[in-house]
């Protein structure tokens, strides 16, 4: 396992591609991680056991591991059950991230119960809480997650109208003044300036994904801008 202290004040790159996306391939994600490493990233966030295993062969960086899996009785899909935690733990990832919203998990399991079960089974595993609101982040901090993340801000019904950069990252500044555990800022950090700002504010690390590793998203921004210019 690699030392997670190396991610402090640094960039973590999220290297993910879902099955319906053009770059879906463990080989491609490993090469993407290598490119991120060569660019100076100090950590990788990755989805699925095959991707994580390939990435760990390619780069000497700590990995935040997740498994995205849908269940019919829950909206939670980021490491939703113990099955995914078991799979991730076997890969040796330094940090396992999971949905830490107030939404019930599959089987109508609440976060507090799920977290207690994971801690009991894997007491030495570092855990990251993927939150979408101030209240969820504070609850995750109370529970004892090793890292608190803003990953789901803007992506849940309770946060959909909110943007992480609102009022000069007010949510980030508020959490930094109140939580006990390190804050990893993630979600809609799509420019170098935003990444620099949250680190300057005191975030432990910043995760950037789509703006670096999803060329279809990057391309669409250029196309949309061209079309907007053309309509003027």
Summarize pLDDT for 152-201 with one digit per residue, the tens. 999 999 999 899 999 999 999 999 999 999 999 999 999 999 999 999 99
Q: What gap in Å lies between CA 17 and CA 114, rounded to an integer?
A: 27
The residue among 146, 170, 167 whose CA lies nearest residue 7 is: 146
Residue 207, pLDDT > 80, answer yes
Contact 163, 188 (CB under 8 A): yes
Percent of the chain scoring above 70 in pLDDT: 98
The residue among 45, 44, 117, 55 whose CA lies nearest residue 80 is: 117
Q: How confident is the model at residue 42, as a pLDDT?
A: 98
Question: Under CATH, domain 4-230 is a member of which superfamily?
Answer: Aldolase class I (3.20.20.70)
Strand partners, 71: 74
pTM recorded for the entire structure: 0.95
Greatest extent of the chain over all pairs of C-alpha atoms, in Å = 60
Q: In angstroms, what CA-CA distances link 139 with 13, 16, 118, 121, 209? A: 26, 27, 16, 21, 25
Of 27-36, 39-48, 59-68, 218-227, which range is least confident? 218-227
Letter string b/e over residues 2-19, b meaning 16 or more CB atoms within 10 A of that residue's CB: bebeebeeebbbbbbbee
Q: How confident is the model at residue 228, as a pLDDT?
A: 84
Q: Where are the domains of the chain?
A: 4-230
- Neighbouring C-beta atoms of residue 100, cutoff 10 Å: 29
Which string of DSSP letters, residue by residue, matches 101-158? SSS--GGG--HHHHHHHHHHH-TTSEEEEE-SSHHHHHHHHHHT-SEEE-TTTTSSTT
Q: How confident is the model at residue 231, as a pLDDT?
A: 61
């Amino acid at each position: 396992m690699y030392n997670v202290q190396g991610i402090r004040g640094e960039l973590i790159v999220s290297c993910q591609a879902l099955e319906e996306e053009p770059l879906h391939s463990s080989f491609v994600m490993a090469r993407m991680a290598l490119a991120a490493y060569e660019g100076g990233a100090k950590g990788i966030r990755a989805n699925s056991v095959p991707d994580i295993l390939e990435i760990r062969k390619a780069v000497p960086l700590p990995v935040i591991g997740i498994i995205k899996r849908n269940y019919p009785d829950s909206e939670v899909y980021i490491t939703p059950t113990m099955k995914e935690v078991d799979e991730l733990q076997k890969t040796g990832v330094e940090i396992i991230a999971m949905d830490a919203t107030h939404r019930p998990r599959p089987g109508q399991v609440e976060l507090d119960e799920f977290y207690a079960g994971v801690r009991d089974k894997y007491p030495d595993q570092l855990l990251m809480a993927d939150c979408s609101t101030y209240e969820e982040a504070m609850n995750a901090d109370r529970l004892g997650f090793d890292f608190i993340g803003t990953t789901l801000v803007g992506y849940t019904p309770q946060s959909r109208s909110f943007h992480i950069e609102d009022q000069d990252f007010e949510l980030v500044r508020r959490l930094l003044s109140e939580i006990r555990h390190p804050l990893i800022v993630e979600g809609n950090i799509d420019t170098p300036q935003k990444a620099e700002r949250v680190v300057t504010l005191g975030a432990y690390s910043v995760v950037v994904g789509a703006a670096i590793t999803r060329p279809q998203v990057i391309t669409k921004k250029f196309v949309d801008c061209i079309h907007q210019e053309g309509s003027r």
